[in-house]
């Protein structure tokens, strides 16, 4: 027989964990070297706001295998990404950084959430439609339930807020719906998290086609990787699609130049669009692109230097990742224990 709801609610250990600060959780897939889009839309904010929040960041390798990926490549990408996050300023002293598969509780919670998530909700996910492509029947079941694993990542830590790029908004909203429906059915268990999506740079577009999102799974010339050498950065920006007009202004109807200006603004010191337009008034695309390339190179140069140092010492990186997992493990175990009690598995 199941216990009455009031008893379940009275279980103090099952209440959401109290925190001094709001907790943020975010994840990134080890599917290739992160792009400038990842940096501008997500990583730079994670790094900049570490003193505001209680921070948990995760390299989501279980999400990476929802599409086909070479084992050797996955292994290498995972460590490269962890090192790059530290190089971008994720400070292990202020943030827990770990590899998703090192915490089996995520997958355990995901299964339980799979069983309370209507397929109708998953059928609405636009990322699945985009990633599955033409042959939807051939897409893996993991790709289909991907958002539920993401919900488990977030809910397992009683996360308050999820800083992500625009493309992840729908997944965070689904996470809220899953949390809310679980709470309604089984008693208060999860915090309902909110997405944090920035006004500037939440959707950086491809350099060769500004109607598409910049993505590491697209053609080489379409994105700037965080490990691109200066010459490659200059070349890609010089070739970036613009238009046949002359003025350098923030006009959303001119997606190419708008995207480049957005990158310029995001990597700057807080100038307004008006200030940037004034800076380039009367100047040509060539001059603007050279200034942009310079700004991107200047941003990535110190990151690449730290990355080289970190990868020269793999033992330190491993220790840091193990420590990150150890720090969050008690939180994850506590949530999973509560959830199992709530649904009758314990």
Where along the sequence are the contacts to ligand TRP (CB under 6 A)? 25-29, 60, 63, 150, 153-154, 162, 164, 168, 171
Beta strands in 95-190 (DSSP E): 95-99, 161-163
Q: Residue written as tokens 């995760």? A: 58
* Active-site pick, 19, 169, 216, 235: 216
Q: Starting from the edge strand earliest in sequence, which strands make up the sheet with 54-59, in order?
A: 95-99, 54-59, 23-28, 161-163, 194-196
Taking each helix axis from N to C end, the angle separating 141-155 and 105-114, rounded to the nearest 10 degrees, works out to 110
**Which of residues 165 and 187 has its CB atom nearest to ligand AMP in the complex?**
165
The end-to-end CA distance of the chain, in Å, is: 13
Strands 54-59 and 95-99, bridge-based pairing: parallel
Distance CA 88, CA 85 (A): 5
**Which of residues 213 and 236 has its CB atom nearest to ligand TRP in the complex?**
213
Among 203, 283, 329, 334, binds ligand AMP (CB under 6 A): 203
Among 96, 113, 174, 204, binds ligand AMP (CB under 6 A): 204
Tokens representing residue 126 in the block: 């636009």
Distance CA 341, CA 186 (A): 10
Among 23, 41, 154, 297, binds ligand AMP (CB under 6 A): 41
Distance CA 186, CA 193 (A): 18
- Verify whether residue 216 is a known catalytic residue: yes
- Give, as ranges, the residues between 133 and 172 that touch ligand AMP (CB under 6 A): 164-165, 167-168
Interacting partner of 25 out of ligand AMP, ligand TRP, none (Cβ under 5 to 8 A depending on kind): ligand TRP
CB of 303 to ligand AMP, least distance (A): 15
CB of 284 to ligand TRP, least distance (A): 36
- Verify whether residue 29 is a known catalytic residue: no
* Active-site pick, 19, 29, 129, 131: 131
Among 97, 113, 125, 214, binds ligand AMP (CB under 6 A): 214
Per the CB < 8 A criterion, the answer to whether 164 and 195 are in contact is yes
Number of residues in contact with ligand AMP under rule CB under 6 A: 16
- Verify whether residue 235 is a known catalytic residue: no
């Amino acid at each position: 027989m199941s216990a009455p709801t009031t008893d379940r609610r009275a279980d103090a250990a099952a209440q959401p964990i109290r925190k001094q600060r709001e907790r943020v959780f975010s994840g990134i897939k080890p599917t290739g070297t992160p792009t400038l889009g990842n940096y501008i839309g997500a990583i730079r904010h994670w790094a900049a706001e570490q003193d505001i929040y209680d921070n948990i960041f995760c390299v989501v390798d279980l999400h990476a295998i929802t599409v086909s990926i070479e084992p050797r490549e996955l292994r290498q990408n995972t460590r490269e990404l962890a090192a790059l996050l530290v190089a971008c300023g994720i400070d292990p002293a202020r943030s827990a950084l770990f590899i998703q598969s090192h915490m089996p509780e995520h997958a355990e919670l995901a299964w339980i959430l799979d069983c309370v998530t209507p397929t109708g909700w998953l059928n609405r996910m636009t990322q699945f439609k985009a990633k599955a492509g033409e042959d939807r029947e051939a897409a893996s079941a993991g790709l289909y339930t991907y958002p539920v694993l993401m919900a488990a990542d977030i809910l397992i830590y009683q996360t308050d807020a999820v800083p992500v790029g625009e493309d992840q908004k729908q997944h965070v909203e689904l996470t809220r719906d899953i949390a809310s429906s679980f709470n309604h059915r089984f008693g208060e268990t999860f915090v309902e998290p909110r997405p944090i999506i920035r006004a500037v740079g939440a959707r950086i577009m491809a350099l060769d086609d500004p109607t598409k999102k910049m993505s590491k799974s697209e053609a080489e010339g379409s994105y700037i990787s965080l490990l691109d050498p200066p010459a490659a950065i200059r070349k890609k920006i010089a070739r970036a699609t613009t238009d046949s007009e002359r003025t350098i202004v923030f006009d959303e109807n001119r997606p190419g130049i708008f995207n480049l200006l957005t990158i310029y603004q995001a990597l700057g010191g807080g100038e307004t669009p008006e200030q940037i337009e004034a800076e380039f008034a009367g100047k040509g695309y060539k001059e603007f692109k050279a200034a942009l390339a310079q700004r991107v190179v200047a941003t990535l140069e110190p990151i690449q230097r730290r990355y080289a140092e970190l990868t020269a010492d793999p033992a330190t990186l491993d220790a840091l990742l193990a420590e990150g997992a150890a720090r969050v493990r008690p939180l994850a175990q506590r949530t999973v224990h509560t959830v199992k009690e709530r649904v009758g598995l314990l």
